[in-house]
A and B are shown apart, each in its own frame.
Chain A
């Protein structure tokens, strides 16, 4: 990974995160190339979600540096990081329940973030068309004018993916995108992700190994706040350290 630094879209270097003295993440190094789809796995409490929180600015590093396109994110606020081109899907689906699905997409489609510019901005027909296409892509075309609070759990997951697509960030962070999805829906998600990679860089935290095998080229394994191993699916499955980390939980495929 380190031998092609000019290609790295996102780099995390010597990260330390300390919560009142407890080191949730320590000595963590991580790099993702442009257009890559990287799966981030690890046992519970390994620090996967914390790593995503760090990238999107929800948590600040205690020490170390996070570089996105060569620029440090350390001093930026959440909305500035989002403006730089990083989007996030949360573990618990969080959409705007009191707004309709169309309005949700309008919010996500952040063309201008200025208050005053947006005060003079009303609905556009061209946007409506693209929202309809997005809704069709995630199979929610009939729900566009229903309030998001009425959607089922699976539909809410899809809506959140649609929100990310509307936002169209360069780097997409996904926290357990298939949680609560049916097998069929998981496969549909895998197809979608395979289409996204190349144009977007994706970091996916996932427990479902079947899903990981379908989408992941390179897998990074975290354990106790550190990077344990990195490699292809078969390399990871053979790795002795990974086997140790998952000991007792039925191996990596049982996690």
Chain B
């Protein structure tokens, strides 16, 4: 393991530890819930960093997978409210209002929480595999991928709104039970949910880090750099892209499930264009080529958004301020905040070894210099 990887592991571990220690200093249920929400967005940003930052797939429909995960969790939690928010038949209330008489077949397995937990990951992954298969086998790249993913998200969103009888339509799925695993209840406004989210975040972050450190991760970055060249080394580029796209979708699905737990409902806005574009902004601000950077970018931007929109002084102008910050970062720090930190560290290290640097430079000069 190189020294660089070791330092990276330490930094990642330290940040996760800091996040896990927050509840020891904060005792306000409302604030903990808010922080939990920011962390969920952090997980979503990790997912996009993996596909956009590492593989060069700009997924403008990242919220599709987030929403699918969210609905899977909401369906399971809705069925757990029997009989309070369901009719005597065990039907969710909105189905009763819409004259549905029996529970639809695709709702039935969600009586099992384990099924829901698996589905929350598997449904987004299968969705991404299918979409990825068509896009990447067809060698669709760049801006067209962005358009297709965005359009697909709008379609799924409309489908959910349209099928009100089965999905709750515009209102989404509300009045949910609290998540209960092996007798332990996760209260949306308690420490338990915060720890659940922070723990999942840690797992997701290190899982994503492991993917990027593997050979597959290296080939993903090579694809981002020069897709055509990778083919001539014998790699099936489409499969690598489908892999990155699906892993990203799975992580987004996990984030969606957690979001339902912390928000206590699921809504079509979770598959919205504005959320999807926000994820892109978080990654750009934090540094899309760094998992940690993207995650912190999400926490930083949503945190600032929350703070600004809640303070009276900025009630009317907070959107402007956010836009200004975004423009500033994109203009001055093309690799985001993580890129700026990396540059700073590099500069510090360079003072230690000016000798080797100088020889390398002089060699480069002799190769391009007067001989030509």
**B372 and A182 within 8 A (CB):** yes
**A118 and B367 within 8 A (CB):** no
- Choose the segment among A4-12, A23-31, A102-110, A246-254 that binds chain B (4+ C-beta atoms closer than 8 Å): A102-110
A150-B364 Cα distance, complex, nearest whole Å: 9
List B contacts of A88 (CB < 8 A): 232
B211, closest chain A residue (CB): A119
For the complex formed, measure the closest distance between the CB of A233 and the CB atoms of chain B, giving whole angstroms: 27
**A96 and B364 within 8 A (CB):** no
**A107 and B360 within 8 A (CB):** no
**A110 and B360 within 8 A (CB):** no
For the complex formed, measure the closest distance between the CB of B340 and the CB atoms of chain A, giving whole angstroms: 17
**A152 and B232 within 8 A (CB):** no
The answer to whether A96 and B226 touch (CB under 8 A), given A121-B215, A154-B367, A182-B371, is: yes
For the complex formed, measure the closest distance between the CB of A155 and the CB atoms of chain B, giving whole angstroms: 6
Q: Does A75 contact B (CB under 8 A)?
A: no
The answer to whether A152 and B218 touch (CB under 8 A), given A79-B236, A113-B234, A182-B371, is: no
B225, closest chain A residue (CB): A96
Residue of B215, B219, B360, B371 most packed against chain A (CB within 10 A): B215
Q: Does A143 contact B (CB under 8 A)?
A: yes
List B contacts of A154 (CB < 8 A): 367-368
List B contacts of A22 (CB < 8 A): none
Q: Does B111 contact A (CB under 8 A)?
A: no
**A78 and B218 within 8 A (CB):** no
List B contacts of A152 (CB < 8 A): 364, 367-368
The answer to whether A119 and B214 touch (CB under 8 A), given A110-B234, A154-B368, A182-B372, is: yes
A169-B221 Cα distance, complex, nearest whole Å: 23
Within A48-70, the residues touching B (CB, 8 Å) are 56
The answer to whether A155 and B367 touch (CB under 8 A), given A82-B233, A87-B232, A96-B225, is: yes
For the complex formed, measure the closest distance between the CB of A196 and the CB atoms of chain B, giving whole angstroms: 18
Q: Does B243 contact A (CB under 8 A)?
A: yes
Within A179-224, the residues touching B (CB, 8 Å) are 180, 182-184
**A97 and B225 within 8 A (CB):** yes
Q: Does A255 contact B (CB under 8 A)?
A: no
A78-B360 Cα distance, complex, nearest whole Å: 36
Q: Does A165 contact B (CB under 8 A)?
A: no
**A142 and B231 within 8 A (CB):** no
Q: Does A243 contact B (CB under 8 A)?
A: no
**B225 and A98 within 8 A (CB):** yes
Q: Does A178 contact B (CB under 8 A)?
A: no
Within B322-372, the residues touching A (CB, 8 Å) are 356, 359-360, 363-364, 367-368, 371-372
B363, closest chain A residue (CB): A142
B240, closest chain A residue (CB): A115
Contacts A79-B234, A121-B214 aside, 16 further interface pairs with beta carbons under 8 A come to A82-B234, A94-B229, A95-B229, A96-B221, A96-B225, A97-B225, A99-B218, A99-B222, A107-B218, A107-B222, A107-B233, A119-B216, A119-B217, A122-B213, A142-B359, A143-B360
13 contacts between A and B (CB under 8 A): A82-B233, A82-B235, A96-B222, A96-B226, A98-B221, A119-B215, A119-B243, A121-B214, A122-B215, A142-B356, A151-B364, A180-B372, A182-B372
Residues of A within 8 A of B (CB): 56, 77-79, 82-83, 87-88, 90, 94-99, 103-104, 106-108, 110, 113, 115-116, 118-123, 142-143, 146, 150-155, 163, 167, 180, 182-184
Residues of B within 8 A of A (CB): 1-2, 211, 213-219, 221-222, 224-226, 228-237, 239-240, 243, 356, 359-360, 363-364, 367-368, 371-372
